[in-house]
Chain A
């Protein structure tokens, strides 16, 4: 784990940053990212000159009040949103200006998502939900991988259960397993404990810790102080600006 990364400074360029990691670039990096929206005639700046480097196996918590730009940052990290200016680097590669198709492919390969509302399909079994991201691929062993992942998050005995038969914590663990099905380098979580009680939240966060141990980076945006207990590093977004704590 590498919780000791110092905040990026203006002097450190992206190239240097990449060179600093034994020739391996960090999985995900924002450099000077600004995101502006047109909000009813006036320009809303959701992110202002944000720099963030996420290292492999690192658990980063992003705190901040509502409207601070947390979701925009997560969407930018997840290649769901493009910055107005600045760069998004994935494994050291600039992916800022790629088209929708290329970004979709990169999402599949590099990024897993976990949402507050789980977004499980109620009519599919846990295994089918976990394998859902592979459903359009000729991925013959996806089911086996899905079962294995469910087993790893402690749901080996719930493989054929459907979401309505699962508790909130179990649903979120199914969602985590789904996020891992394509062996991502980064897992992005939007309020992962938002719909869970404290105990269940701890189980899910424990799951994130184990994932990090396997070298997958986790970025969670949250209101929940509990998350910071488990995170290697917490950054705070205030009015679109990032502050390291």
Chain B
């Protein structure tokens, strides 16, 4: 690059190269500051993403059960219709019957398990092996732990209360926190149960917001006069959890910001030192016809370059730290690579450069406004 193109940048680079160790040390402050902000931000964000991923299903489900305190034992077909009306367009309503029974496998082993009865299991359960039918008419869906315990797989027979059912699917282990735990349960068609009322209704809502609206609607309609049903809906708790994580993140970033402030002071100090050292030289430049603003610009560019250098290295190290987190923890790569983490890298970088620039302003201003006569007087 010729001086004629970007003189301030060329001069600033020259000046920074003159005392490499000092420049590197000044930039190191910014490296640490940016690293602190970016990694604390990303770690907090990863924590939030990971937590919300496992709590995610919780926020989208509304579980309506009879209010046992008021003597309710089941939900009637009319209740179901009401719930369906409220949930129209917002989610899928799955009425469930539940019971407990001994389940025996072919090998003779048996275990006590929760038995769910529903015709529409696909909205709630996922298969690990086999398929979960949209309309459930025959056969059994067996939870993964139970299947292992009984030694059954897709195609095996299980015996429940004297009836044989063919296993059509083994359910995937439930990762979500939810009152419906399929791991050690068997899902049968509704017809396997004695016809009658339902024990609970699960509404799989399309979103957390829909879940809140459904819960609100069900309370309005079914509990208008008396508390007939209890409505279990966690999306508002989820909101609070999210708020907590936001707070935690701000706190972590605040901690990181402290180190960036320290870095700013270091840059301030280094700039002040190096301009004092170069006083004579700055006086000379002013004497030979270099304008104040050119001196000012050069010194501000010097500080900014330190920030860019430090910020860049800081960002690289932060990426390294995030990958290390993925390597040593069970957190999934897609959470580490979530675009929202990039925001923290960007924010940390921008702050690093801004802090450097701000720290360089006063020393630069002071140097540019030196009287050349004073500056040249040793």
Contacts and interface: CB of A to CB of B under 8 A. Distances in A.
A117 interface: yes
A108 B289 contact: yes
Interface string B3-14: 110011011001
Nearest to B369: A100
A47 to B, nearest CB: 14
B247 interface: no
A104 B291 CA distance: 6
Contacts of B290: 104, 108, 133, 135-136
A123 B291 contact: no
A171 interface: no
Interface string A116-146: 0101011110000001111111111010000
A104 B372 CA distance: 10
A121 B288 contact: no
A107 B289 contact: yes
A135 B289 contact: no
Listed from nearest, the 6 A-B pairs whose CB atoms lie closest are A108-B289, A133-B288, A119-B284, A136-B294, A107-B289, A136-B7
A143 B170 CA distance: 81
A241 to B, nearest CB: 21
Interface of A: 75, 78, 80-81, 100-101, 104-109, 111-113, 115, 117, 119, 121-124, 131-140, 142, 178-179, 182
A101 B288 contact: no
Contacts of A179: 288
Contact of B289 (A109, A122, A123, A131): A109
Contacts of A109: 289
14 contacts: A75-B373, A80-B372, A81-B373, A101-B292, A105-B289, A107-B288, A108-B290, A112-B288, A117-B378, A119-B284, A132-B284, A133-B290, A136-B11, A182-B289
Instruction: Find the residue from B3, B290, B376 having the highest chain A CB count within 10 A.
Output: B3
B373 A178 contact: no
A139 B291 contact: no
B133 interface: no
Nearest to B5: A138
Given A138-B4, A182-B289, A119 B280 contact: yes
Interface of B: 2-4, 7-8, 10-11, 14, 17-18, 280-281, 283-292, 294, 371-373, 376, 378
A108 B288 contact: yes
A37 to B, nearest CB: 11
A109 B290 CA distance: 11
A104 B289 contact: yes
A101 B291 contact: yes
B371 to A, nearest CB: 8
A107 B287 contact: yes
Nearest to B4: A138
A40 B311 CA distance: 48
B284 A104 contact: no
Contacts of A112: 288
Contact of B7 (A104, A107, A135): A135
A132 B288 contact: yes
Nearest to B8: A136
Contacts of B285: 132-133
A181 to B, nearest CB: 8
Contacts of B14: 123-124
B129 to A, nearest CB: 72
Given A123-B18, A135-B10, 17 more contacts: A78-B287, A80-B372, A101-B292, A104-B286, A104-B289, A104-B290, A108-B288, A108-B290, A112-B288, A113-B288, A115-B376, A119-B283, A119-B376, A133-B288, A133-B289, A136-B291, A182-B289
Contacts of A117: 280, 378
A182 B290 CA distance: 12
A156 B378 CA distance: 30
Contacts of A123: 14, 17-18
B4 A104 contact: no
A194 to B, nearest CB: 13
Nearest to B286: A104
Contacts of A133: 285, 288-290
A119 B194 CA distance: 102
